Amino acid sequence: MARSDLLVSLVQASASGDSKELATTVEAIIAEERAKQHNVLADRLLRALRSHSMVRRTGYLAAEAGARARDYMLETVPQKRLEDLVLPELCEYACRQLIEEQQRASLLRSHSLEPRHRVLLVGPPGNGKTSLAEALAEALAVQFFVVRYDAVIGSFLGETASRLRRVFEYARTTPCVLFFDEFDAVGKERGDLNETGEIKRVVTSLLMQVDALPSYTVVVAASNHAELLDRAVWRRFQIRLVLPAPTQAQIEQYMKAFGEKMNEPMGIKPEAIAKSLGKISYAEAEEFCNGIRRRLALSLGEGCLKSIVSEQLQLWKARAYQSDAI
């Protein structure tokens, strides 16, 4: 049974003849029923909505525009788990709070409260922002959509805002995690004199769409350049987390966890590996470990893990850096 606030909204929209609100409310009920695995009921509601004369006359139905909206997003199956990530203690605690609130949303609503669902992640590149968004989707067992800026951002007046609106309309129809990487690309400070009026309109439209999202749609925005974000963007997000570059101790922890998954001892202590790698990001640590796994797989079981790790450390030290190209 749909929750009471949606039923009240449904009656109010029908009584007032507000077809847009009617469609939005029914889509919210459909999303809730799909989350409960009540797919037969959800399909019946969708067919009823499509046949409704008020909706047909206005031409408004986000579900009908779903195919177009999905052109602007990349759907991936979440593979990362929260347990796989090395996070600052308070960041992990905040994420587990959000997961609990989403999973126990009915209890919160019985107290006239909604679960938090808007998350902003900031910090240097390669330190787990995308992985954390994916892990949230995995923990909540919902779809994971990554917004494609190459498809969303257009060159014509109003085109970008229109496409973003379609993305949000689709996201309202299903429980999901909607991820905006490099959020400063669309959420820039409107007071920047170097930006055009079109960018300012996009930001204004974006903020309105974020505000209108239902709480079963979790939106996660990530930025490497927090200083570029519009001041109003910060207020929209209920959870704001900093993911800093890892310390040597955290890289040691990462290498220890990697070693425990291998079939034989690495032969080199995690702290020695971390010291040899120096100051690196989690993305670089993952690439180093994947390099070891590749060489081990290609050896067809004849390679010595300790020798492979030593070889990869030597290659790592010989890498080119950005400063070398300047």
Residues 105 and 114: their CA atoms lie apart, in Å, by 7
Structure confidence at residue 197 (pLDDT): 64
Domains of the chain, by residue range, sit at 4-58, 66-242, 248-320
Confidence of residue 40 (pLDDT cuts 50, 70, 90): confident
> Per-residue b/e over 38-72, b at no fewer than 16 CB within 10 Å?
eeeebeebbeebeebeebeeeebbbbebeeebeeb
Tell me: pLDDT of 59 over 70.
no
Contact 187, 145 (CB under 8 A): no
Q: Describe the chain by its helix, strand, coil percentages, rounded to 5.
A: 60, 10, 30
Structure confidence at residue 58 (pLDDT): 46
Give the residue-averaged pLDDT of 202-219: 90
Residues 251 and 267: their CA atoms lie apart, in Å, by 17
Name which CATH class applies to 66-242: alpha beta
Residue-wise pLDDT for 170-202, tens only, equals 888 888 999 999 898 887 766 655 555 677 788
Structure confidence at residue 240 (pLDDT): 96
Residues 288 and 280: their CA atoms lie apart, in Å, by 10
Higher per-residue confidence, 187 vs 206: 206
Residue-wise pLDDT for 97-154, tens only, equals 999 999 999 899 999 999 999 999 999 999 999 999 999 999 999 999 999 988 888 8
Residue-wise pLDDT for 61-88, tens only, equals 444 455 577 788 899 889 999 998 989 9
Residues 100 and 139: their CA atoms lie apart, in Å, by 10
Distance (Å) of CA 169 to CA 21, 67, 217:
12, 12, 11
Q: Tell me how long the chain is.
A: 326
